[in-house]
Amino acid sequence: MSLPDIQTLTLPNGKTIDTHTFLFINNEFVAGHGPMIDTVNPTTEEVICSVHSADESDVDAAVQAAATCFETTWRKVAPAQRGRLINKLADLIERDIEHFAHLEALDNGKTVAVARDIDITDSVACFRYFAGWADKIHGKTVDTTFDKMCYTRHEPIGVVAAVTPWNYSVQMPVWKLAPALAAGNTIVLKSSEVTPLGILHLAALVKEAGFPPGVLNVVTGYGHITGNALTKHPLVAKVAFTGSTATGRRIMESSAASSTLKKIQLELGGKSAQIVCADADLPHAAAQACQGIFNNHGQSCNAGTRIFVQEAVHDDFLALFLEETKKLKVGDPFEDGIHQGPQINKVQFEKILGYIDLGVKEGATIALGGKRVGTKGYFVEPTVFVNCTNNMRIMREEIFGPVVCIGKFSTVDEAIALANDSEYGLAGGVYTKDVNVAIKVSNEMHAGTVWVNCFDVFDQSTPFGGVKNSGFGKELGKYALLEYLNVKTVKFQLMDI
């Protein structure tokens, strides 16, 4: 006998909260036919609840619902009405912001404050930003010859398969949903099987907001079952993925092997470099660089995990950086004053500790941290390695945890070369008072985003995406809309009257 869709969870303070556990297809929560999946609280290592997963038949049902809705309904909804519905959804998310924050703290391990004030607040703002774009997507007239008239139309692609990660389990889906909906597409979203609860609540709000059935469908499941069925489905016109580079490659292979060619957008891994020049405001640089790596427990694709410091100020910067790091409290995400909760699960926890051991074996020195915190939960100390060189695996591979590696450089050209000596190119940063140096580094760094005298600063209007093995395509801003549109050319032969 299967459990009911809505289950009641108990929070650490004794209060209760409800969560959906079924798939969301055609505006209804329905049982899945795949294996049940336990979602685990990384703070306690205990099972929160079990959620349904989608097999190939469930994925097909979700895609069929999205395709039918696109052809018969959603693409014909007036753009201004699409914008009103998206704004209504933003209002409902804001209404339920505490509900989302507590689900995220349980399911993901990030603090209630971070989930509420960053992830969900950003999600609300993202929907509102793209709601404003819905009725401002315009084509152009094109002058050709005197006897012809030509114009372009920007049209929605169709059914979008969005495959999203566990580290920002509401925010990352919203980065895809908002521009896709504004452009007039329908979506089948595969949420991470590790953190499915927040996005299932968002699905309920989609129905409450009044979106037509089939506009958004949510299927939870494992990548090799649910994800593979979704990315290969012949009615899917585009795949938008955020996650590891290895999984991104598999998605490209899967999509290429399907019966229909698909537009692909990939936001993948990173090993971002932060360059601290001798003339930088060192206290400011230390504070920014610290947040740039340890934000979200180090579980961010753009985290500034490699810090290169000019030799003349290396020791001074290191002392300031260590003081900033020591301020970070690790503990229960439901407690006030906590900066860093647990890592997402046992696999990631053991991977991080394994990299810390590897760094020591490679000859790097632990200046701070390096150990597990407590005996229960997946907590890791913020860890700072020094004496790091670019040939070390801890400097080349994505650890995806609270581990930073610090090295030295002598000249700006050397720093740029060190930063670019990576297979990744998602983001980077430079700290300097010299505008010429800032522009030189920004121009020459192989990265999709370069922050100057700051790091990890996002805005809904600012495009984000990588180069090299960090992927291609842009999230956020007007550039993101282009990822969800096809351009059609219409040409008239003018006839004599």
Report pLDDT for 255.
Answer: 73
Q: Which has the closest alpha carbon to 89: 173, 157, 16?
A: 173
Q: What are the angstrom distances between the C-alpha of 28 and each of 58, 199, 207?
A: 13, 14, 8
pLDDT over 90 (residue 9)? yes
Query: DSSP H helical segments within 73-196, as ranges?
Result: 79-95, 97-107, 112-114, 121-133, 171-182
Indicate the pLDDT class of residue 372, thresholds 50, 70 and 90. very high
Encoded amino acid at 386, one letter: V
Contact status, residue 320 vs residue 286, Cβ threshold 8 Å: yes
Residue of 98, 104, 193, 267 with catalytic role = 267
Average predicted confidence (pLDDT) for the chain = 96
- The string of pLDDT tens digits covering residues 312-355 is 999 999 999 999 999 999 999 999 999 999 999 999 999 999 99
User: Is 94 considered catalytic here?
Assistant: no
Encode pLDDT of 104-141 as tens digits. Answer: 999 999 999 999 999 999 999 999 999 999 999 999 99
What is the reported pLDDT for 146?
Answer: 87
Give yes or no on whether 6-268+471-488 and 273-452 have one common fold: no
Do 301 and 269 touch, CB atoms closer than 8 A? Answer: yes
Which pTM does this prediction carry?
0.96
Task: State in words which class domain 6-268+471-488 has.
Answer: alpha beta
> Domain residue spans in the chain?
6-268+471-488, 273-452
Distance (Å, whole) CA 59 – CA 228:
10
**How far is residue 330 from each of residues 47, 318, 334, 340, 483, measured CA to CA in Å?**
22, 21, 11, 5, 39
Which residues are 49's β-sheet partners?
A: 39
Q: Would you identify the CATH topology of the domain 273-452?
A: Aldehyde Dehydrogenase; Chain A, domain 2 (3.40.309)
Q: Which two tokens stand for residue 333?
A: 């995400």
**Residue-level pLDDT at 1:** 45
pLDDT of 63 = 98
Percent of the chain with pLDDT over 70: 99
Question: pLDDT digit string (tens) for 43-70?
Answer: 999 999 999 999 999 999 999 999 999 9
Confidence of residue 2 (pLDDT cuts 50, 70, 90): low
Render pLDDT for 248-298 as a digit per residue (tens, 0 to 9): 998 888 777 677 889 999 999 999 999 999 999 999 999 999 999 999 999
For residue range 450-464, what is the model confidence (pLDDT) as tens digits? Answer: 999 999 999 999 999
Section 415-440 average pLDDT: 98
Distances (CA, A) of 2 to 8, 97, 468: 15, 30, 46
Give the bridge partners for 310, in sequence order: 409
Q: Where residue 400 falls among pLDDT bands split at 50, 70, 90?
A: very high
